[in-house]
Amino acid sequence: MPTAPPLPDPPAPDPAFPAGADACPVHWPRAIILVDMNAFFASVEQRDRPEWRGRPVAITNGRQGTCVITCSYEARAFGVRTGMRLPQARRLCPDLIQCPARPERYAEVSTAIMEALAAISPDIEVFSVDEAFLDVTRCQRLLGSPAAIARLARRRVFEASGVLCSVGVSGDRTTAKFAAKQDKPDGFTVIPPWEAAARLHAVPVTELCGVAEGIGAFLARHGVHTCGEMARLPIGVLARRFGNPGRRIWYMAQGRDPEKVRTGVAPPQSVGHGKVVPPDTRDRAVLLTYLLHMSEKVGARLRRHGLAAREFFIGLRVRGGWEGARLRTAMPTDDGHQIAALCREVLGRHWDGAGVHQVQVTALDPVPARAQLELFADEAPGHPEINGVMDAVNRRFGQFALAPARLLERSAMPDVIAPAWKPFGHRRSV
């Protein structure tokens, strides 16, 4: 029988925090760990293909994809970056290995990682497919210091996935995330809460998670360029301009981010799927196939989570931006055929024939599918029995094993994992 490929070397002990010592015996009033996977998609591919380890790998959306989704650290050493076009990446790194993305595999590995971390602390927030916050404040008496728990988290991640991660530890979310970025890949950085303000003092405010260029420009106009300069700015200035998020930024810059680790998933405000189409597509039949594909994905996802929606956004991205419309059905629906009918209406009434680069179908404000109907409302249209059978077949044999005939011509480009992916609830989608 074939043997499993050998694992990469396990995480090395950090010299500053030897395994036999408790690096910080003081009980922290609040302890947050951020676990950040190293070049996650590329690391999974190198884990599954031992011959690629130590070599430059670029992940693209399918073999036809021309944009680098992410790349290994060996490729980054040549200047290859996420978002770079493949031809430019090959000029920088002629030996670059192009690897089509396997989103289902990445979701599988991520799920295993998050389950391993949840066994350490139930107070876990899956921040993205390759990041998670752990609040280990209540675990210190059982598991030791925050640094010791962080070392445990690194080992558990490696045991669950065979890939390495970087870890940041501090007394608040923002500082922990900043710490995790300091020594990648395979980093381990601890910033005790009483040192956070000093460690952030000279850091540009725009390096903090959530402080985008617009907020950075506003702060610069008020003389705030580094975190240390934030204390000179009255908190009310930020509060008047940005409300509660502004107040949070004021505390973030001083290592006192009050935001808690969010363990649940908020009810969905929308459920949508989009896909890139061949550049400058003007063929109506091709667009109908792509829109039907997205309609069926949205419908199946709504049904999987017991949701339905009455209003939908159907979008077509052209050179000048988005064209499309918000349309409503007579009753809340989870039926892909009804959603596709709205797509045909958008093509007929709102598309002027311009070249399309991307399509988007989004259910807005979904509600529980079995909500109370109006007293004299007609029965909701659709095909619930057919959809139920189709969903059962596809759960057993794979997505779109049973689907409308037109989808035989659907794009071969793999689906992508949304930035807000989570291993549970309505965010678990590819």
What is the domain partition of the chain in residue ranges? 41-102, 201-252, 270-427
To which residue do tokens 């790349």 refer? 71
Res 250: pLDDT: 96
Can you tell me whether residue 156 is helix, strand or coil?
Answer: helix
**Could you tell me whether strands 307-318 and 321-333 are parallel, antiparallel, or unpaired per DSSP bridges?**
antiparallel
CA angle 248/129/63 to nearest 5° reads 135
Each residue's pLDDT tens digit, 226-269:
999 999 999 999 999 999 999 999 999 999 999 999 987 777 88
Across 69-89, b (16+ Cβ under 10 Å) vs e yields: bbbbbbbbebebeeebebeeb
Res 308: pLDDT: 93
Res 76: pLDDT: 96
Q: Is the pTM of this model over 0.95?
A: no
- Report the C-alpha gap between 208 and 345 in whole angstroms: 44
Handedness of CA 28, 21, 163, 186 (dihedral sign): positive
- Report the C-alpha gap between 422 and 107 in whole angstroms: 9
Domain 201-252 class, CATH top level: mainly alpha
**Could you tell me whether strands 165-170 and 131-135 are parallel, antiparallel, or unpaired per DSSP bridges?**
unpaired
Res 365: pLDDT: 87
Q: What is the CATH number of domain 270-427?
A: 3.30.1490.100
Those residues of the chain that have pLDDT short of 50 are: 1-7, 14-23
DSSP states of 1-68? -PPPPPPPPPPPPPTTS-TTS-S--SPPSS-EEEEEESSHHHHHHHHH-GGGTTS-EEEESSTT--BE
CA distance readout (Å), 177 to 2, 63, 196, 197, 414: 40, 33, 12, 14, 30
CA distance readout (Å), 135 to 22, 112, 118, 318: 19, 19, 10, 44
Helix-helix angle 336-349:284-304, to 10 degrees: 150
Return phi, psi of residue 70, to 5°: -160, 170
Return phi, psi of residue 355, to 5°: -65, 130
- Report the C-alpha gap between 70 and 83 in whole angstroms: 8
Q: Which CATH number fits domain 41-102: 3.40.50.720, 3.40.1170.60, 3.50.50.60, 3.40.50.300?
A: 3.40.1170.60
Res 221: pLDDT: 94
Nearest partner of 40 among 169, 140, 135, 132, judged by Cα: 132
Question: Which residues are marked as active site?
Answer: 131
Average pLDDT of the chain? 87
328: part of which helix (H) or strand (E)? strand 321-333
**How many CB atoms are located within 10 Å of the residue 195 CB?**
14
To which residue do tokens 């693209």 refer? 60
Percent of the chain scored above 90 by pLDDT? 66
CB 328 within 8 A of CB 311: yes
